[in-house]
Structure 1
Amino acid sequence: MKVIISLLLAVLIVIQSGCIPVLVGTAITTATVVSMQDKSLGSTIDDTTVMIRINKELLNNNLFSSIKVKVDEGRVLLIGSVDSIEKQIIAERVAWEQRGVKEVINKIKIKTLDNDSSITDIAKDSLITAKIKARILRRKNIKSVNYSVNTVDGVVYLMGIAQSSKELNEVIKIIREIKEVKDVVSYVRFIDK
């Protein structure tokens, strides 16, 4: 029975996605593995659809070959390595933009230092990010788990899902209070959209 469900799921994915052969092969393999887990068929289809959409966008951004995507009940895990933090941010933004994504766990590694950034600059950006995460975590009226923060050259990229515009405005205010922050770029979407 699970083999039949796997095959039907694979056919549905191919028909619905219109993906290229590489994505189809990945989808069929993933659909087969996921369908063997203890989760509903609907959840399996939702997760596989999210994975295909993310992979399609990664392909459009020339990141497909360096990043692997795992999806489980709306939780997305990004793994692999890229040569710049900007590519890491693009991959995470792509994941957050997909309908049905509840959380993005970005474990993409930067394999080489960007020629334009020194180790000192990267350390400063990491410190800014750590300060922001700590300040957001302390606020009880902010669901900190819904936000992802990345800093590049003093510019903070904010991604995730806001509970309300009031919550998002508070997060942005916290970020702007840090003197080293040059700008804030928000890719945050609201929970009801």
Structure 2
Amino acid sequence: MRQLLIASIIIASFTSLQGCAPAIVVGAATTAIIANDRRTTEAFLQDQTIKFRSNDAIYSNKEIGTQVHINVISYDQQVLLTGEAPTGSMREQVEAIVASIPGVKKIHNEIKVQPNSRFESRNNDAMITAKVKGRILRNSNVDPSKIKVVTEHAEVYLLGIVTEEEATASVKIAQQVDGVKRVARVFKIIEEGAAEEEQEISPEQLNQESNDALINKMLDRINNPTPQGSAE
């Protein structure tokens, strides 16, 4: 039976004056997660930055920040937007805000035009997510550390860098969970045999204490991008 990776991301976001982007710091737990992820280390950290910058930009917006309920998930710089907006115009405005965040390559806008969801709906979504993750964990054909599960309005979104076999298996698993209305694939599909070539730094390297400096150097590059027109 496979071991379940038990780790939590230690991320602190700091905002000061308006317009300042969140800075992100990492520790040993983050290092452990990166070691089991198919994203490159820099892509993993870029995703965290995109998420925090997007949330900050959305909820600090005076026109829409208090009226919408938006979840931002970035995976390999592809952003999934779920939640609710009261009008189609606000839905489009949220997408435009996220599209302006540095590093975003593609947006999957699944925001629904309707009143914000209630606690009962969000609690049900959390239960569905837990059930899907649990079933994936028990399946020998899918590594749970490679699949991100998001549920909104009983609709399940599956993200990750996976093979077609892993994608098909995880979709079937999610479809069999009670209460699931729809399963959407938001995968990046890779060839068989290429699955373990995505990570450019080995788990052994990441376990070395000196690599915290390497990761924080990447974070500094992400949090303080070189201005356009300047040489790096």
TM tier, smaller: 0.3 to 0.5
Greater relative contact order structure (CA < 8 Å, 6+ sep): 2
**Structure 1 length-normalised TM:** 0.48
Higher strand share: 1
Would you tell me which structure has more helix in proportion to its own residues?
1
Length-normalised TM-score, structure 2: 0.41
